[in-house]
Amino acid sequence: MSRPPNPPATPGAPPLPMADPPPPRERADAARNRARVLAAAAKLFADRDPAGVTMDDIAKAAGIGRGTLYRRYPDRASIARALLDEHERALQEKLMRGPAPLGPGGQGGPGDDVTPAQRLAAFYAAMVELLETHVHLVLGAETGSARYETGAYAFWRLHVRHLTAEAGAPDPDALADQLLAPLAPELFRSQRERGIGIDRISASLEVLAYGVLGGPTGP
């Protein structure tokens, strides 16, 4: 297979379409090591308790030195984020431009009369699915309060804030956070470990969505 022409030099760089002034290339050995790191980290996060994985574990598993690991990833969270990024971006894309009820619709398509409550419920369902697949990574990326500082969280908040405002709820700024809280990865894991399936979690979140933003059983 051919090498992609311009692999991004920094993992967290914003996805500008083109034209970075100096595209400094990435050396072949560096690229190889990055791939090793991500593969090793993914396995470690999945196998053990994500919070217990150390930088040394990852370096050893990837077969590189600690210094090399620190060169690109300043901490465990940044590695987890790198692994998570593409999945989150895909969901964000669907939210912004995808078909209803997850996306806005509005092209004269089938979802033009979708309510904010329906969109929130769809968002909940999508997030639950994402969590089910990648809780390890989310837990590896965010410990406690750090969650609320991440760019991803800011995006989810903006989205939910928009939906609540559209539904006419008072104080969307305060409500958005509170509607996002049930998606906290620690809570999700706790519920799953107590034997609550994702179908029940999603259904329950649907009750929440329709109750607060209005719908079949709401105002």
Partner DNA sequence: GCACAAGTGGACTCCGTGTCCACTTGCTGC
Partner DNA sequence: GCAGCAAGTGGACACGGAGTCCACTTGTGC
Q: Is 212 in the site for a second copy (CB under 8 A)?
A: yes
CA dihedral of residues 38, 132, 185, 92 (deg, nearest 10): 70
Q: Is 154 in the site for a second copy (CB under 8 A)?
A: no
6 binding partner (options a second copy, DNA, none; Cβ < 5 to 8 Å by kind): none
The answer to whether 23 and 6 have CB atoms below 8 angstroms apart is: yes
219 binding partner (options a second copy, DNA, none; Cβ < 5 to 8 Å by kind): a second copy
Angle at CA of residue 186, ends 137 and 13, nearest 5°: 35
Q: Site map for a second copy, 158-197, x if CB under 8 A? A: -----------xxx-xxx-xxx-xx-x-xx-xxx----x-
Q: Which two tokens stand for residue 77?
A: 């969270």
Name the residue nearer to DNA (CB basis): 70 or 148: 70
Shortest Cβ 26–a second copy spacing (Å): 35
Name the residue nearer to DNA (CB basis): 68 or 204: 68
Q: Is 23 in the site for a second copy (CB under 8 A)?
A: no
107 binding partner (options a second copy, DNA, none; Cβ < 5 to 8 Å by kind): none
Q: Is 148 in the site for a second copy (CB under 8 A)?
A: yes
46 binding partner (options a second copy, DNA, none; Cβ < 5 to 8 Å by kind): none
Shortest Cβ 189–DNA spacing (Å): 20
DSSP characters for 102-165? TS---SSSTTTT--HHHHHHHHHHHHHHHHHHHHHHHHHH--GGGGGGSHHHHHHHHHHHHHHH
The answer to whether 199 and 193 have CB atoms below 8 angstroms apart is: no
Kindly tell me the sign of the dihedral angle through the C-alpha atoms of 112, 116, 122, 123. Answer: positive
Contact set with DNA (CB under 7 A): 24-30, 32-33, 54-56, 63-68, 70-71, 74-76
